[in-house]
A = this chain, B = another copy of it.
Amino acid sequence: MTKQNTKPNILVVNDDGITATGIKNLMEVMQELGNVVVVAPDSPQSGMGHAITIGKPIRFDKVDLYPGVEMYKCSGTPVDCVKIAVNKIFKGKKPDLCVSGINHGLNNSINVIYSGTMSAAVEGAIEKIPSVGFSLDDFAQDADFSYCKKYIKTICEQVLEHGLPEATLLNVNFPKGNNIKGIKICRQANAKWAEEFEERTDPYKRPYYWLTGVFQNFDKGEDTDVWALEHNYASVVPVQFDLTAHHAIPILNGWSFNEENN
């Protein structure tokens, strides 16, 4: 990584893999803002959450996909991509911005926790790099990401100008279709997936299971990301990685944990 000028250095990652349309669109916006390095999985890694590769080694190679763009493919997870970029490319001199996506499919609400896209951005934030994850409500391989670009540029300009509050990153989701009304700052909606494992039988008469599910929103709030997206706003949720439920500490201190042990 050579800093060619005073423009910001920007790390671009994703979870759909280095050949995904989403990361190409994100990379194109970032080229307008700074010096871009792309590090992405060599295969799709959706739903990888915050997984890291510790039981086996990883491969990491330079690739030449788009003219003039410094790009690397990595056999590891999205989080591995951020770790190896910081350690092996930026060599400790942190990038000024880490962006992840644009994911093929929403990462709103509870999806933030399963998402490789968002976990890569979380890892950027753990590394104290201002970080933003972007996702679009469209799973199609040929999804149209173009109309997200002006919003992505505005959001990243704001992040570069203001910085982000300590230990905070942004989770940005776009509704499908070119009629976005604007950007809304939201909280994560209280929702979950109701799983259903579809059982099939292989040619050897043994069962196997496909994970399927239905998204259940329990949250009627108009300040949530689910509400914003349903009303054609791009949702921006500030995300933290201190998972402590601070409000529960005084409750637990009232329990009898130590009676038997004192």
Contact = CB atoms under 8 A, between A and B. Distances in A.
A206 B261 CA distance: 55
Interface string A234-262: 00111111111111110111011111111
A200 interface: yes
Please tell me how many copies of the chain the complex holds.
Answer: 2
A257 B155 contact: yes
B257 A211 contact: no
A165 interface: yes
A5 interface: no
Interface stretch (A6-14, A20-28, A42-50, A93-101): A42-50
A74 to B, nearest CB: 9
Contacts of A66: none
Count class of interface residues, chain A: 35 or more
Interface in A36-83: 44, 46-55, 57-60, 76-77, 79-80, 83
A194 to B, nearest CB: 9
B211 A53 contact: yes
A238 B245 contact: yes
Nearest to A206: B59
Contacts of A126: 110, 113, 192
A258 B87 contact: no
Interface string A157-173: 01000101101101000
Contacts of A50: 49-51, 113-114, 119
Interface string A103-119: 00000001011100001
B249 A240 contact: no
A196 interface: yes
Given A113-B241, A183-B261, 8 more contacts: A47-B51, A50-B119, A57-B200, A87-B196, A127-B192, A150-B261, A240-B244, A240-B245
28 contacts: A49-B50, A49-B79, A50-B119, A51-B51, A52-B114, A57-B208, A57-B209, A58-B197, A59-B206, A60-B207, A83-B211, A86-B195, A112-B243, A113-B243, A127-B192, A150-B260, A154-B261, A158-B256, A165-B247, A182-B261, A185-B249, A185-B252, A186-B249, A187-B242, A236-B257, A237-B244, A238-B244, A239-B245
